[in-house]
Structure 1
Amino acid sequence: MDRIRIAGGRPLNGTIPISGAKNATLPLMIASLLTPDRLILDNVPRLADVIQLQRILGNHGVDVMVAGKRPGDTAYQGQTLEISAAHVIDTTAPYELVSKMRASFWVIGPLLARMGEAKVSMPGGCAIGTRPVDLLIKALEGLGARIDIDGGYVVARAPKGLTGGHVVFPKVTVGGTHTALMAATLARGTTIIDNAAREPEITDVADCLIKMGAKITGAGTSRIVVEGVARLSGARHSVLPDRIETGTYAMAVAMTGGDVLLEGARPELLQSALDVLVEAGAEITATNEGIRIVRNGAGIAPVTVTTAPFPGFPTDLQAQLMALMTRAKGTSQITETIFENRFMHVQELARLGARIHLDGEKATIEGVERLKGAPVMATDLRASVSLVIAALAAEGDTMVNRVYHLDRGFERLEDKLSACGADISRISG
């Protein structure tokens, strides 16, 4: 099993290219099930989750071709996927595939809408809470589906097709919004989705669906209206830049000091996180090339943050901010409101010398003058990268174990950081 070794204490200087967003790529790939025509996705990141979803789609009879390199391609340029779901031969998503990636449950919406049936395994356990699928099921029932739970599978049927309806989510759910949005595109009549998630990835998926012929208004707001159509066609779409990767590297620069251009990043996708970094003492400038982040000399200031759905501070940057605050000059507080069990990185940060006190959903971080390298273990995707951020500023060597979590969401992380001066390397086996 691969590990990553980091020798801390080096500032970061240079350019880090930002990859396409994982959280948009996965639902965009799933949207290919809505049409028999070819969907071409550009700027797709090279991630373990993308490869896993290719396997899941292949199980349904979907052909996924990865286009070869083109003249002028750079090392970090996203790949192009050509996806064809002309012949869906199986509407069952088995446990052994769905259990490896929770987002794959979302295939239930497109399969049901296009094929009139779907049998999808309930997702397995997850290190950051239960993430229940009941909201997704209720949304599909609101569009006329008959849902049964049988042997750990959600069996959904709509033999005469879905019908438009009014879906009201009791709480904001990204997965529920993706599922309802995709299913509604082929439903007869009008669907209204209230209390919809407003995340940029929802808007990106809606933009792609519109290119495919869907009639959608309001994506990016809390009310989305979908006029169902009889058929969707193929399209070509470029995945938007990854705001979580952007915020992660921005916090790494704030932690170590230095001057880095996050190439291709778009500030409007994570303004709340950038505002917090400015409060913590970083200088942030939007340029035509991306976002430039600088921190020189002065220490890190403490902050108080509560995670919230977009446009609030993202839960997917909570662990990274906590790592940054371990070196702040004072006491910080972070309240996690989205996922339970999302403080599993705390005990590993403590191994590096962090002082963190947990009280329910609130973490109080007492900044320390120095962190010291130690062997640590990743527990989930965002927790693992928080350990990398802490290690970049720690004295001596840190060994991060179980880095397969990192490979799920960060494309060539050690290459991007080492190109900016970090002493970081991957140890295989």
Structure 2
Amino acid sequence: MGKLLTIHGGKPLQGRVHVRGAKNLVPKAMVAALLGDRPSVLRNVPEIKDVDVVTSLLQLHGVKVTKDEDTGDLTLDPADTKSAGSTEIDAHAGDSRIPILFCGPLMHSIGEAFIPDLGGCKIGDRPIDYHLTVLRHFGAVVEKRPGGIHISAPKGLHGAKLELPYPSVGATEQVLLTAVRAEGITELQGAAVEPEIHDLIAVLQKMGAIITVQTDRTIRIEGVKTLSGYNHRAIPDRNESASWASAALVTKGDIYVEGAMQRDLTAFLNTYRKIGGEFEVDDEGIRFWHGGGTLRPLVLETDVHPGFMTDWQQPLVVALTQAEGVSIVHETVYENRFGFTDALVRMGASIQLHRECLGSVPCRFGQRNFLHSAVISGPAILQGAQIDVPDLRGGFSHLIAALAAEGTSTVTGIEIINRGYEKFMDKLTGLGADIELSETAR
């Protein structure tokens, strides 16, 4: 049995939503607790599937995870960390890629780690080779075994000089989580510098790590023998904040996003204003609304931080279908991020995908047959349709398209959206969306 969501479109979304800790930080901060010799406390934790997955994986490895039912705060006690069996890890990990980040912390605490063959979102290969190469540089021995990869460090882990070919967030996290307790100094060039990376560094520094971030994407880590626990409030989820902002624009609504933080949304807010969205920032969050005029088209390129984030692109593409004129979006971070546009075209949007780099900067996908540029002509009148959610951000984009469309849409596969959007059904209902949820035989 799956869930079927019926959406009656055409109603502006209006009201308040509360955005909590970032999906791209919270699971990583939970993994970091493995490195300490005392319990850690993580606050502002959202109720999303990724948190459940990491909780299960930590418990499998002997970490005691306690949730405060009033506040949602997590206490993570690594005193009894142990090895876990591959089939158990596999069963709990599902299609999550989080187990790869357990490697460094587990080798420091118990001397070995096992990664099952991993799944993940359907938006690109996201190879784990980067991660394995990084671990080998630290002195890890990587062995392919049935069902996955066994990693050990018979001679211990030592600092390394590393350079990433692309500022991958996952590989940067891997280096941080491994280097903080490795012997000697680690220097990482070409690092990702996303706000969530800075927040993870703040977590590790609270535990006793010595980490310097230099201006040119270089991170320097001096290894220490032991780390203690942390007490940390996770930064709010800038992806979810931007998604609700796009929902306000697409449905001609008015949404106050409590918890949205201007500092981490700068590139998004500039673009939002250029298109014709309005926003107002206060100390508690940001109010987003449709400015009332016609939306303006633009040329947009996604990039790693501090550029326009790839996760912001999909909900915004829905807004661009309503702009008057031709917009161009050049995706430079994930090669297969435009699959979600098929459903928008069926709903009446005019979107053409191209293999060429239709932006000012040629990117690494340019001559490799990836449909990574989109030309969007508007304004389009969207009609209700049958939709099956392809991935997390694409799924949310389909929802807001259906909410803005004329007529009724039916959506399957919405479980994927729970991975990154806390209580999104309750939030939609609270904003006045006309929706019904029912069971479907799948």
TM-score calculated relative to the size of structure 1: 0.94
Residue in structure 1 matched with residue 195 of structure 2 by the alignment = 200
Structure 1: distance between partners of 2:286 and 2:17: 10
Q: Against the structure 1 CA distance between its residues 182 and 266, is the aligned structure 2 distance closer, same or farther, given a 3 Å change threshold?
A: same
2:64 equivalent to 1:63: yes
Out of 392, 417, 422, the residue aligned to residue 406 of structure 1 is: 417
2:230 equivalent to 1:235: yes
Structure 2: distance between partners of 1:180 and 1:152: 24
Structure 1: distance between partners of 2:415 and 2:178: 32
Deviations 1:363-422 (A, max 9, x none): 111123411111111011111000011112101111211101111110111222322222
In structure 1, what residue type is equivalent to 2:15?
G
Out of 79, 85, 103, the residue aligned to residue 86 of structure 1 is: 79
Q: Against the structure 1 CA distance between its residues 125 and 181, is the aligned structure 2 distance closer, same or farther, given a 3 Å change threshold?
A: closer
Deviation of the 1:354 alpha carbon? 1.4
Question: Within 5 Å, which residues of 2 pair with 1:118-133?
Answer: 118-124=113-119, 126-133=121-128
Residue in structure 2 matched with residue 358 of structure 1 by the alignment = 353
Q: Which runs of 5+ in 1 are unaligned?
A: 71-78
Deviation of the 1:306 alpha carbon? 1.3
Residue in structure 2 matched with residue 418 of structure 1 by the alignment = 429
Residue in structure 2 matched with residue 329 of structure 1 by the alignment = 324
Q: Tell me the SS of whatever aligns to 2:15.
A: strand
Deviations 1:32-79 (A, max 9, x none): 111232111111100112112211222212221111215xxxxxxxx2
Residue in structure 2 matched with residue 116 of structure 1 by the alignment = 111
Structure 1: distance between partners of 2:299 and 2:417: 27
Residue in structure 1 matched with residue 52 of structure 2 by the alignment = 51
Is the CA contact 1:19–1:45 (under 8 Å) kept in the aligned structure 2?
A: yes
Is the CA contact 1:98–1:124 (under 8 Å) kept in the aligned structure 2?
A: no
TM-score calculated relative to the size of structure 2: 0.91
Is the CA contact 1:198–1:219 (under 8 Å) kept in the aligned structure 2?
A: no
Q: Tell me the SS of whatever aligns to 1:370.
A: coil
Residue in structure 2 matched with residue 76 of structure 1 by the alignment = none
Is the CA contact 2:349–2:380 (under 8 Å) kept in the aligned structure 1?
A: no
Question: Within 5 Å, which residues of 2 pair with 1:120-199?
Answer: 120-124=115-119, 126-199=121-194
Number of residues of Structure 1 aligned to a counterpart in Structure 2? 421
Residue in structure 1 matched with residue 395 of structure 2 by the alignment = 384
Structure 2: distance between partners of 1:41 and 1:286: 26
Structure 2: distance between partners of 1:62 and 1:164: 26
Deviation of the 1:131 alpha carbon? 0.2
Deviation of the 1:126 alpha carbon? 3.9
Is the CA contact 1:203–1:219 (under 8 Å) kept in the aligned structure 2?
A: no
Residue in structure 1 matched with residue 404 of structure 2 by the alignment = 393
In structure 2, what residue type is equivalent to 1:401?
T
Is the CA contact 1:14–1:259 (under 8 Å) kept in the aligned structure 2?
A: yes
Residue in structure 2 matched with residue 75 of structure 1 by the alignment = none
Structure 2: distance between partners of 1:192 and 1:39: 27
Structure 2: distance between partners of 1:154 and 1:197: 25
Is the CA contact 1:258–1:296 (under 8 Å) kept in the aligned structure 2?
A: no
Structure 1: distance between partners of 2:215 and 2:261: 16
Bigger mean CA deviation after superposition, 254-263 or 195-204: 254-263
Deviation of the 1:329 alpha carbon? 1.0
Bigger mean CA deviation after superposition, 199-208 or 140-149: 140-149
Q: Which runs of 5+ in 2 are unaligned?
A: 355-370
Residue in structure 1 matched with residue 278 of structure 2 by the alignment = 283
Sequence identity (%):
38
Deviation of the 1:259 alpha carbon? 2.5
Structure 2: distance between partners of 1:259 and 1:43: 25
2:298 equivalent to 1:303: yes
Structure 2: distance between partners of 1:36 and 1:114: 9
Out of 333, 343, 348, the residue aligned to residue 348 of structure 1 is: 343
Structure 1: distance between partners of 2:422 and 2:284: 20
Structure 2: distance between partners of 1:50 and 1:244: 16
In structure 2, what residue type is equivalent to 1:11?
P
Bigger mean CA deviation after superposition, 148-157 or 182-191: 148-157
